[in-house]
Amino acid sequence: MTSESAEPSRPHRARSVALLTAVSALSAISPLIALPLITRAAGPDGFAEIAIGQALGTLAATIITFGWAVRGPVEAARSAHPARVFRASIVVRGANSIVVLPAVALVAALASHADDHALAIVSALAFALQGLSLSWYAVGVGRPLLSLVFDAVPRIVLNLVGALAALLTATPLLYPTILLVGTLAAFVTATWFIGLRERFSVRAALTDARGAYRGGWRTALAAGLLTFSETAPLSTLGVATSPAAIGFAPFDRVLKYGYIGVYMITGSFQGWVSSAPGDAGLRRMRRAVGLHVLLAVALGTGFALVVPWATPVVLGPGFEITSLTALFGGVALAAMTLATALGMCVVLPSGRDGAYLAAVCVGALLVVPAVLVGASLLGVAGAAGGVAVVQLAVLGVFTAAALRILRGR
């Protein structure tokens, strides 16, 4: 093995941020394109199984990622050896997968209401493998083409092919199965292209991975708790056998797709913000937050106004969402958008991992009681209201931390 030389740095210009944002938005809408096909292929009960599997798989993906999606762009942007950063993440995420995948399959079987549990289990495994995505690396090095070729395009193709196969054959299980196989194939190809086709030190990769475990636990814990707070509502209602669970599922999925879109768009700014030092970095932070204020207003308003009438049209009969439920969803999505911008574009690039973890802990502690109490009072709308309260609380903590940083304290 040979020692690795410094790689040429890539400037993080506004153009790369715009392109990464566009690619991220493309990745975010890929499940939405397939959603009408899936609901018609699976029906309300089958869709609830897929939704439960997706919720659990998303949490598992976060555990597999071990915070790389959050801190990875910062490390890659500031490293003279970004491919070495990527290789360390491969070791960490690969080791985590060996433990996490069997565990999430077992939990999905326990949470499933179907007789054979297969739809929930395979869905959980398929969405768990998204923890192997390289989009964070593309953001860190400012290379939108990597994200397009190895993340956005495969997502769109796999979602459409899987959904069409499920609909045409009346076999809903084909959807998560195709996602699982295709996601794994894209990961193997990307890993070879980025990290393994050149000579490198295996010992260095293992050493870097050990360092990542030691130094990244706060960010990894925060990412896991954040995902828990966003996936727990539906899982909680399902485990508690709440009558609101089935009605909450379509709302939960539509809201989560909004969350996914926000994370992808906000993540596109991380390399740009993190690559500028001193006052220039603070200016970029303020610009990123300002743009997210506009995004929060647009997404929140759009969710509240469009979702009630669009959901049954897009998803089909039996998937209605009331105006009050959508209003709470709009508030939750707007608050989450601002909180994500403050956390990923201000708090983390400033090295305040403890403040980030504290804000996320607030949401993780409040989400289960808030959703259960809300569901007991107002059913599906009450559960959505609980989600909105939790997101506003998290936003409050992030705002307090970010204001200190932006004021230079």
Q: What is the DSSP string of 277-318?
A: -HHHHHHHHHHHHHHHHHHHHHHHHHHHHHHHHHHHHHH-TT
- Which pLDDT does position 240 carry in this prediction? 67
Coil, strand or helix: which one is 171? coil
- Sequence-distant (≥ 6) Cβ neighbours of residue 86 within 8 angstroms: 76, 134, 137, 194, 195
Which of the residues in the chain have pLDDT under 50?
A: 1-11
- Which pLDDT does position 51 carry in this prediction? 82
Query: How confident is the model over 78-122, as pLDDT tens digits?
Result: 777 788 888 888 889 989 999 999 999 999 888 877 777 889 999
Determine, yes or no, domain membership for 23: yes
Number of folded domains that form the chain: 1
First to last CA, the chain: 45
> Residue 307 is encoded by which pair of tokens?
């979702």
pTM above 0.85, yes or no: no
- Which pLDDT does position 376 carry in this prediction? 87
Residue-wise DSSP of 106-166: HHHHHH--SSS-HHHHHHHHHHHGGGG--HHHHHHHT-HHHHIIIIIHHHHHHHHHHHHHH
Cβ count within 10 A of residue 81: 17
Determine, yes or no, domain membership for 6: no
- Which pLDDT does position 366 carry in this prediction? 94
Determine, yes or no, domain membership for 129: yes
- Which pLDDT does position 73 carry in this prediction? 78
Query: How confident is the model over 161-189, as pLDDT tens digits?
Result: 998 998 899 888 999 999 999 999 988 88
Determine, yes or no, domain membership for 7: no
Determine, yes or no, domain membership for 8: no
- Which pLDDT does position 239 carry in this prediction? 67
- Which pLDDT does position 408 carry in this prediction? 65
CA–CA separation, 347 and 344 (whole Å): 6
Closest CA to 316 of 72, 73, 38, 10: 38
Determine, yes or no, domain membership for 104: yes
- Which pLDDT does position 15 carry in this prediction? 60
Determine, yes or no, domain membership for 393: yes
Radius of gyration for the chain, computed over Cα atoms and rounded to the nearest angstrom = 20
Determine, yes or no, domain membership for 29: yes
User: Domain range for residue 20?
Assistant: 14-406
- Which pLDDT does position 385 carry in this prediction? 95
Closest CA to 302 of 363, 265, 261: 261
- Our CA angle for 356, 359, 361, nearest 5°, is 105
